[in-house]
Amino acid sequence: MGRPEWIMSTPTAPTPATARRDRKFSTMMSIVFLIVFLSVTSSYEWGAPTPQFRPDALFIIAPGILIAAVYLIVYIFIRYGGQTPIRVRLCTSCGRGIPFDALFCPYCGFQFPRP
């Protein structure tokens, strides 16, 4: 007797490629948040008795957000080559990421029910 199909296996450890992709994404998001943080903190009038926004704060924050958005769009364009990212799901047998519309797992051969 084989293993029942309703038993899910434990997920496997992330592959080096997945870990590298996650690190790149985390670094990219850190840079985006840093750009926005720097634009907001530089728009304060720190010499005032209580910190408050400068009168031209909008002209400091808006370009910071615009630069962060352009950086994010360029990153996504370079990462995915101008194509839509492929949706993935986890195989219920081996736990690896596979294309969302796959009928068979390319790693373990598990057959998914037809929709």
Which tens digits make up the pLDDT trace of 14-26? 677 777 877 888 8
Using alpha carbons, select from 65, 62, 81 the residue that is nearest to residue 32. Answer: 65
* pLDDT confidence tier of residue 78, bands split at 50, 70 and 90: confident
For the chain, how long is the longest CA-to-CA vector? 77
Q: What is the CA radius of gyration of the chain?
A: 23
Q: Coil, helix or strand for 24?
A: helix
How many domains are contained in the chain? 2
- Mean pLDDT across the stretch 22-36? 88
**Residue-number span of the structural domain to which 94 is assigned:** 87-115
- Residue 7 resides in a domain: no
What are the tens digits of pLDDT across the range 85-106?
Answer: 667 788 888 888 888 888 888 8
- Residue 29 resides in a domain: yes
Asked whether residue 42 falls in the same domain as residue 57, the answer is yes
Are 88 and 101 in contact by the 8 Å Cβ rule? The answer is no
Which residues, listed in sequence order, are joined to residue 52 by a DSSP beta bridge? 45
Asked whether residue 78 falls in the same domain as residue 99, the answer is no
Q: Which residues contact 44 (CB under 8 A, 6 or more apart)?
A: 51, 52, 53, 54, 57
pLDDT for residue 16: 76
pLDDT for residue 69: 92
